[in-house]
Amino acid sequence: MVQIFKNTNYDFIKYKKIALAGSAIFLLISLIFGFIYGGLNFSIDFAGGTLVQLKFEKPVTDQLGKIRSAVNSLGFGSPEIKTIGAVENNEIQITVTKQADGSTVTDEIRSVIAKELPDNKAEMRRVEKVGPKIGSELKTNTIIAGILSLIAILIYVSFRFHLPFAVASTIPLFHDALVTLGVFVVLDREISLPFIAAILTIIGYSLNDTIVIFDRIRENMRGGLRGKDFPTLVNKSINQTLGRTIITSITTVVVVLALFILGSEAIKDFALALLVGISVGTYSTVYIASPVLLYWHSKKPIIK
């Protein structure tokens, strides 16, 4: 079996403060962007409203500005308009925060677009209506599900390892989720159900990567430190698993990148969240989980 990064001795722990500062700065930047944009850009699943998907007979890409102005004039809130699938499909998706009353909203949208583009007939492909109560309940259930999953992970890892390892492996999961959310905030991308699915996937992936390193730390702890300090032991464990970490991350990122580039518009947000989360998860295993474990050891030694 071919091995890469064999017998490495990089001093990862040396840069932990710089890495932690970088994470803090990015989260602060994303928070600022959140204030600028007026909060998270929730999809119709969470915010409620009406989604209309239309297919035009002729190319419509150059007319999105006109369509946006026309729909905006209806007073249904600031519309979100984007193309769906390949450009040659001539399909667009219009999302407004106005709750549909019968077919009033969809009829008015079709009517105003027909007046704006009389030579380009549009066919209704899809209409979705979500009430504000359903959106609010979905937000609450999503938060509860996320918290319960993290608590379950904390308990399980405590049982399989020790409490310090459980805490150190759970905190980076919050970090990975927040950074991925921060990227979506900065890019003003929708927070949708596919995004939530991606976050849960990222949590599992990041935890798996962390456990691999922590398992090696536990193996190296057997028999005591034997003249070495704990940071040296942690750094050695990271180096010993570096090849596995890099190979796993690269192969996964390549697949997700292909999904993002070649996939349809409907899964781009899911693929983007995975792309960010997997990359950040690899980083947090080394520069978030390990420093938390080291901090715990400095306050209450895990091994003597």
Whether 284 contacts 172, CB under 8 Å: yes
Whether 97 contacts 49, CB under 8 Å: yes
Residue range(s) of every CATH 1.20.1640.10 domain in the chain: 13-41+134-299
Residue 266 pLDDT: 67
Place of tokens 């090696």: 216
CA–CA separation, 250 vs 242, rounded Å? Answer: 12
CA–CA separation, 140 vs 145, rounded Å? Answer: 9
DSSP 191: B
CA–CA separation, 44 vs 46, rounded Å? Answer: 5
- Considering the entire predicted model, what is its pTM? 0.76
Closest-CA residue to 175 (of 19, 18, 23, 31): 23
Structure tokens at 272: 């983007």
Question: Domain 13-41+134-299 in CATH: superfamily?
Answer: Multidrug efflux transporter AcrB transmembrane domain (1.20.1640.10)
Q: How far is CA 132 from CA 27, 141, 146, 200, in A?
A: 29, 14, 21, 24
CA–CA separation, 243 vs 33, rounded Å? Answer: 36
DSSP 100: P
Over the range 65-100, which residues count as b (16 or more CB within 10 Å of their CB) and which as e? eebeebbeeeebeebbbeebeeeeebbbbbbbbbeb
Residue range(s) of every CATH 3.30.70.3400 domain in the chain: 49-129
Q: What is the pLDDT along the chain (304 residues), one digit of tens a residue?
A: 445 666 777 888 888 889 889 989 999 999 998 888 877 877 777 777 788 888 888 888 787 888 888 888 887 766 778 777 777 778 888 888 776 565 678 888 888 888 888 888 888 888 877 666 666 777 788 888 888 888 888 898 888 888 888 888 889 988 999 999 999 999 888 888 888 888 888 888 888 888 888 888 888 877 665 656 888 888 888 888 888 888 888 888 898 999 888 876 668 888 999 999 999 988 888 889 888 888 888 878 776 5
Locate the DSSP E strands across 71-211: 80-83, 91-96, 122-130
What are the residues facing 55 on neighbouring strands? 91, 123
Residue 1 pLDDT: 40
Q: Is 54 helix (H, G, I), strand (E, B) or coil?
A: strand
Whether 57 contacts 117, CB under 8 Å: no
- First CA to last CA distance, the chain: 36
> What residues have CB less than 8 Å from 133, skipping those under 6 apart?
48
Domain 49-129 listed as CATH 3.30.70.3400: yes
